[in-house]
Structure 1
Amino acid sequence: MVQRGYSRQAETLADGHAIAAVKKLYGHAGGGASVFETFAAYHTEHGGEAPSLLSTHPLDAERIERLRQAAADWDPVRQPLRPLALPMPPPQ
């Protein structure tokens, strides 16, 4: 039921918007490909495929290539990656 409303084309378009948002926020898209490289390595290591729920998503290799292209102008020395500032829960 969930997959009916989504398509690989829509997910690819969403990826493009996400790349644009990351570039606007950080000034570059560096480091983004590593997320999908990690996913791809996990799938390879465990000999499995992505869950069918993710079948509408672009292939890992396609996403990695798009993110590498988006980060082609990134200079990691001038624009180092920074961790996200996430709120920490209070100690228990």
Structure 2
Amino acid sequence: MKRAVIVKLYPSKAQEKILFKLAYASAIVWNKLNYQLLKQFKEYGKIDFGTTEKEAYHEFKDWIGGSTVQQLTRKNALWPTSR
């Protein structure tokens, strides 16, 4: 059984702006990863998650932080099988 913890945030206007920027950046990284994986699959018939993760890490680490990029790439690699 999975446990869920629900938290209500009351950010200030400045914090809210930062959170929206982080969410927007995360969506861009997620979509870029999906596009790269789709291109790899169409071109080679297989997907290399390791190379894709490294490329995304180096491309986006300065924008949203390396650990965030790592978490997004690993979650993206598990997404089709986690349903």
The two structures have a TM-score, normalised by structure 1, of 0.39
The two structures have a TM-score, normalised by structure 2, of 0.43
Greater helix share, 1 or 2?
2
Higher relative contact order (CA 8 A, sep 6+): 1
